[in-house]
Amino acid sequence: MSRKGPKRTTVASPQTRLAMARRSAVRTEPPHLGRADLERARRIRRVQLRAALTALALLTVVVVGLPLLLAALPELDDVRLAGIRVSWLAVAVLPYGALVAIAVVQLRRAERVERNGGEEPR
């Protein structure tokens, strides 16, 4: 019992620990940022916002543009690609490729912004 070692700590299941820790985990006092950090954060936020809006615009092309296109061009129901209607492929397969591509581009861009400290990514 008197053995020297790391301080003893209560062990609980992670769920319980998270639940118990929640009270104290939340920051309640106003956050403080130094002048340099504040400047850097402003730059990052501005560029990140631009990146996020670009990603959202691309997302809109998929989830708004594609339904509108399919509504406007019912002929696509009669065009077949490898025996499958193009309009079916446009809902069942195409969106997923597009979504993964948008996610990859947005992830890369957001990480580059942070690496460059808010300088415009090139």
Partner 1 sequence: MIGAAILLVVVITLLIGARGVAAMRSTSDFLVASRRISPTLNAAAVSGEYLSAASFLGVAGLVVKDGIGALWYPVGFTAGYVAMLALVAAPMRRTGALTVPDFAEARLGSRRLRTLSAVVVLVIATLYLVPQFKAAGQVLRVVSGTPYWVGVVVAGVAVSVTLALGGMRAATYVQAFQFVLKLLLFVGPAIWLVTAVGPTVRAAALEPVEFTRFAHETPVQFRFATTLTVTEPTTVDDGGAPRKLVPGEYPVEAGTTWTFPTGADVPDVGGSLPPGGDAWTRPLLDTDGGGHPVLSTLSLLMALVLGTMGLPHIIVRFHTSPDGRSARRTAAITVALLSAFYLFPVIYGTLGAVLVPELYLSGDTDTVVVALPQRVDSGFTGVAVTAMLSAGAFAAFLATSLGLLLALSSAVAHDLLPGAGLRRLRLAPLAGAVVIVALALPAVNIDVGVLVTAAFAVAAATFCPLLVLGIWWPRLTAVGAVAGVVVGLLASVGAIGVDLFLGAPEGLAASLLGQPALWTVPLAFAVMVGVSLRGRPPAWAAAATLRLHLDEATT
Under a CB-based contact definition with an 8 Å cutoff, are residues 59 and 102 in contact?
A: yes
Residue type, 64: V
**Smallest separation, CB 93 to partner 1 (Å):** 7
Under the criterion CB under 8 A, does residue 81 sit at the interface with partner 1?
no
Query: What is the radius of gyration, based on Cα positions, of the chain?
Result: 25
Q: How many Å separate Cα 95 from the centre of its chain?
A: 17
Binding to partner 1 by CB under 8 A, coded x per residue (else -) over 61-80, reads: -xxx--xx-xx--x--x---
Q: Which long-range contacts (CB under 8 A, 24 or more apart) does 70-74 make?
A: none
CA dist., res. 50 & res. 74, Å (int):
35
- Judged by the rule CB under 8 A, the positions of this chain that interact with partner 1 are 6, 9, 11, 13-20, 22-23, 25-28, 30-33, 37-38, 40-42, 44-45, 48-49, 51-52, 55-56, 59, 62-64, 67-68, 70-71, 74, 77, 83-85, 87-88, 90-93, 95-97, 99-100, 102-104, 106-107, 110-111, 114
